[in-house]
A and B are shown apart, each in its own frame.
Chain A
Amino acid sequence: KQEVTQIPAALSVPEGENLVLNCSFTDSAIYNLQWFRQDPGKGLTSLLLIQSSQREQTSGRLNASLDKSSGRSTLYIAASQPGDSATYLCVTSGTYKYIFGTGTRLKVLA
């Protein structure tokens, strides 16, 4: 059974800092791993999707890496802004099954 854990559970930083969010998973037989952003009461916003054959994806200030063999993924946020404040979720995907991580609640202070 896949278990997905994210560290830290919560993070509060001043604006402008570079951040690293960690995601670990127990079953490396995944199709892909996704990072989502969740704002309170809102639907999920997909940030980055890494296929199992890829090691890295970048979008703007975001960079996500994937190391299947060690069961780890990292989301790097450069030059954080108050608008980045949200809960960040990593999700592993198998056939029709999405397993969510425990989430990291990020607060970026102006």
Chain B
Amino acid sequence: AAGVIQSPRHLIKEKRETATLKCYPIPRHDTVYWYQQGPGQDPQFLISFYEKMQSDKGSIPDRFSAQQFSDYHSELNMSSLELGDSALYFCASSLRGLAGTRQFFGPGTRLTVL
């Protein structure tokens, strides 16, 4: 079965640079969630989109923005990168409307900021 696809899998950037992470949800899933997990830390919810509209917002810095496109894929744009942004970023997708629906996680993008 198709899973959530994230690209790139690894990314190395310098401080103050910009990064764009992409997430392709499971086909027919209409909701995408972004999470950030720092080394040894719990995943932190950043933001989610449902039907191309932002549906929930967590601890996403103002330097980050995201959107969901007409084909339901999502991009997380990160500007003015800081060393503390080094983390594993993963997205999850789900099909909203089903009680107790599960989120299916992608493999993650490991971002390293030097």
Q: Which residues of B contact A46 (CB under 8 A)?
A: 42-44
Q: Which residues of A contact B43 (CB under 8 A)?
A: 34, 44, 46
Q: Complex Cα distance A38/B33, Å?
A: 12
Instruction: Report whether B33 and A44 are in contact in the complex, using a CB–CB cutoff of 8 Å.
Output: yes
Question: Which of these, A42, A98, A100, contacts B90 with CB under 8 Å?
Answer: A98
Question: Which residues of chain B (67-93) have a CB below 8 Å from chain A?
Answer: 88, 90, 92
30 contacts between A and B (CB under 8 A): A34-B42, A34-B43, A38-B103, A40-B99, A41-B50, A42-B56, A43-B33, A43-B45, A43-B47, A43-B56, A43-B58, A44-B33, A44-B35, A44-B43, A44-B103, A46-B42, A46-B43, A96-B88, A96-B90, A96-B107, A96-B110, A97-B105, A97-B107, A98-B105, A100-B103, A100-B104, A100-B105, A103-B100, A103-B102, A105-B100
Q: Within 8 Å of chain B (Cβ to Cβ): is A45? A: yes
Q: Within 8 Å of chain B (Cβ to Cβ): is A87? A: yes
Instruction: Report whether B48 and A43 are in contact in the complex, using a CB–CB cutoff of 8 Å.
Output: yes
User: Which residues of A pack against B, CB within 8 Å?
Assistant: 10, 34, 38, 40-46, 49, 87, 89, 96-98, 100, 102-103, 105
Q: Complex Cα distance A87/B99, Å?
A: 9
* 6 tightest A-B CB contacts, nearest first: A43-B45, A46-B42, A98-B105, A96-B107, A96-B108, A105-B100
Q: What residue in chain A is nearest B41 (Cβ atoms)? A: A49
Instruction: Report whether A100 and B45 are in contact in the complex, using a CB–CB cutoff of 8 Å.
Output: no
Q: Complex Cα distance A98/B33, Å?
A: 14
Instruction: Report whether B99 and A105 are in contact in the complex, using a CB–CB cutoff of 8 Å.
Output: yes
Q: Complex Cα distance A102/B102, Å?
A: 8
Q: Within 8 Å of chain A (Cβ to Cβ): is B96? A: yes
